[in-house]
Chains A and B, each alone.
Chain A
């Protein structure tokens, strides 16, 4: 019994990290139709922000999370302004341009911060284990889980209840008509891209104490996020959440039975088979393909 519970908690922890990484990707894709290949590098930037702040100012993780969000959001905003903005009519080319951005970010970090692995300290008050339902669970993983739920709720409220969210949904549905109603679509796009990037930054900051920080840490993270987006579809936040939960649990289980690599491969083949029968993801409304 406790083994099963342990496995479920591991899966939940994997799923919450996965969700944090893929949420930004899904939001950006859902709104603009842009797959941001630099998303993994945004995660990496978030992790390096924490490392930098800890090393130079000795900050605790919590303030670092806030700084990571805004720093990476600013980077995302800049990239949208300078590059992505000009390519909205050529969706395939946004992949290429953001891939170029990811190369530059990766190499830029390698040249400035060094190519060696960096380590980030876990805050003291989160480094012990807490008993939950008779199973010892790392407090840090619970912290990630709770924070993910909070961020998810915040994102939902942002989209459903604010003026910005209202404009965002309008622009997503029909850009031209919403512009006729005085919504500044360009500004909405920039903000959304920045918000998605900021979420990736927080994800990176949260992963940092669990794994080592390196310039190419983003690649692995973003591949899992692709799987989530492909499987969940982009119609709703729910799709992303459900698919992150499923992939997190399944890969946790497979990694336990085999190893991480085999788990990744099996999840990939599972997703490929799934899209043959549900091309628009598991949570999409059937629409006429235009």
Chain B
């Protein structure tokens, strides 16, 4: 009873948020700001994806930016091949390849002439990478802190490789001077309404779809794995497959967010898979609330919004990272479930007053919550 009740509250919150971001362009008709907010919403998608693997399944992926970056490179490669011939070498060879004395288009660039391939690659490559890494880790029953440091190591390694292979990836500069993405007769210019809606629509689908998954049996098992992996294993579930599912799905969503980011930023760069971005994703997720997809998304929008406004004054540009670090530590120490937990507490208090009911744990499903309500969450 209380469970469906709290569900109604959450669903209201999610739908309200979706409506707000969808009607937003009507309130604010400014191309520059629209582009800026589209960026924040993409970070929201990214943060919600991390919340799914970290907050719901207990897999702390410190290398989330790998998926994001690979997605953005896939999109950038396709758009690069369609730039107007002035900026390209003979036979449409990308400019940075000309500068690096590459004579012919490398084989792995060829299929990116097709948009369909690029979109599938932007989703598929991060997912495949996550799946393979996940297979090795979860089958070896690696969990907790080791997953965190292995994913972080992968991030650093892949970043180094991309910077190192300048001939094929544009190195430090990344891939710039892109054409505009067109699909189904609609152009997705970075400052256009269509791009904003593509981004906002993606965030809505990710949030509502993610919420739906967490309500299914699959979602409950994922949360049970987060709370006590071994107990779920003793029930006969194949824990590694479930973990890998969450890990891979999260990587796919992050890859898609990366593709959108290329559309909005009009370039792809190694900073899209930097340690700093990965750290930021984790901070957004922690500040907003790792145990809630909406909380994580809001955390991203809030933190990047504040950052965007502060970085316009030069004093804050330098101290911003210091402030971020401090906020992060404070949230981890004192508010482990993020700002959204304050809101949920408020809602529960309200309900408690009106109905005089004892509230159950809002995150885990009823069956598991009663089964294991007293245990403190450990990784």
Interface residues of A (CB under 8 A from B): 29, 33-35, 37, 83, 86-87, 89-97, 99-104, 106-108, 110-111, 219-220, 223, 226-227, 229-230, 259, 261-262, 264-265, 268, 272-273, 275-277, 279, 289-290
Contacts and interface: CB of A to CB of B under 8 A. Distances in A.
B148 interface: yes
Contacts of A34: 145
Given A99-B279, A226-B152, A272-B136, A265 B329 contact: no
Interface stretch (B65-73, B100-108, B316-324): B316-324
Nearest to B275: A219
A93 B332 CA distance: 7
Contact of A261 (B142, B145, B160): B160
B77 to A, nearest CB: 20
A103 B150 contact: no
Contact of B322 (A104, A277, A289, A290): A104
A100 B325 contact: yes
11 contacts: A33-B145, A91-B144, A101-B329, A107-B319, A111-B319, A219-B156, A223-B153, A259-B164, A273-B136, A275-B140, A276-B140
Contacts of B140: 275-277, 279
A268 B328 contact: no
Interface of B: 58, 60, 62, 133, 135-137, 139-142, 144-146, 148-150, 152-154, 156-158, 160-161, 163-164, 230, 275, 279, 282-283, 286, 318-319, 321-322, 324-326, 328-329, 332-333, 336, 376-379
B154 A89 contact: no
Contact of A99 (B153, B230, B282): B282
B148 A95 contact: yes
Contact of B142 (A92, A106, A268, A279): A279
A-B pairs with lowest CB-CB distance, top 10: A103-B325, A104-B325, A100-B328, A100-B329, A279-B140, A261-B164, A107-B321, A92-B379, A276-B136, A226-B149
Please report whether the interface of chain A is mostly helix, strand, loop or mixed according to DSSP.
helix
B326 A96 contact: no
Contact of A35 (B148, B325, B336): B148
Of B133, B152, B283, most A-chain CB atoms within 10 Å: B152
Contacts of B328: 96-97, 99-100, 103
A90 B164 CA distance: 37
Contact of B150 (A102, A230, A261): A230
Contact of B160 (A35, A100, A227, A265): A265
Of B153, B163, B322, B326, most A-chain CB atoms within 10 Å: B153
A219 to B, nearest CB: 6
A90 B331 CA distance: 14
Contacts of A219: 156, 275
Nearest to B54: A92
B336 A90 contact: yes
A23 B325 CA distance: 26
Given A87-B333, A91-B378, A99-B282, A107 B325 contact: yes
A90 B325 contact: no
Given A107-B325, A272-B136, A96 B282 contact: yes
A97 B146 contact: no
Contacts of B154: 268, 272
B157 A265 contact: yes
Given A104-B326, A264-B157, 17 more contacts: A29-B145, A35-B149, A37-B152, A83-B329, A83-B333, A97-B333, A99-B328, A103-B324, A104-B325, A219-B275, A226-B150, A226-B152, A261-B164, A265-B158, A272-B150, A275-B140, A289-B230
Contacts of B322: 103-104, 107-108, 111
Of A86, A220, A264, most B-chain CB atoms within 10 Å: A264
Contacts of A290: 230
B157 A97 contact: no
Contacts of B376: 89
Given A90-B378, A91-B378, A272-B133, A100 B326 contact: yes
B65 to A, nearest CB: 14
Contacts of A223: 152-153, 156-157
B348 to A, nearest CB: 23
A267 to B, nearest CB: 9
Nearest to B276: A103
Nearest to A94: B145
Contacts of A229: 149
Of B139, B154, B333, B378, most A-chain CB atoms within 10 Å: B333
Contacts of B160: 261, 264-265
Contacts of A268: 153-154, 157
Nearest to A279: B140
A229 B153 CA distance: 12
Contacts of B158: 265
Contacts of B282: 96, 99
B332 A89 contact: no
Nearest to B333: A86
B332 A100 contact: yes
A102 B62 CA distance: 14
Contacts of A230: 146, 149-150
Contact of B139 (A97, A107, A276): A276
Nearest to A278: B140
Contacts of B144: 91-92
Nearest to B329: A100
A101 B325 contact: yes
A276 B240 CA distance: 12
Contact of B145 (A35, A259, A262): A35
Contact of B332 (A87, A273, A279): A87
Contacts of B152: 37, 223, 226
A92 B326 contact: no
B217 to A, nearest CB: 25
A92 B59 CA distance: 10
Nearest to B328: A100
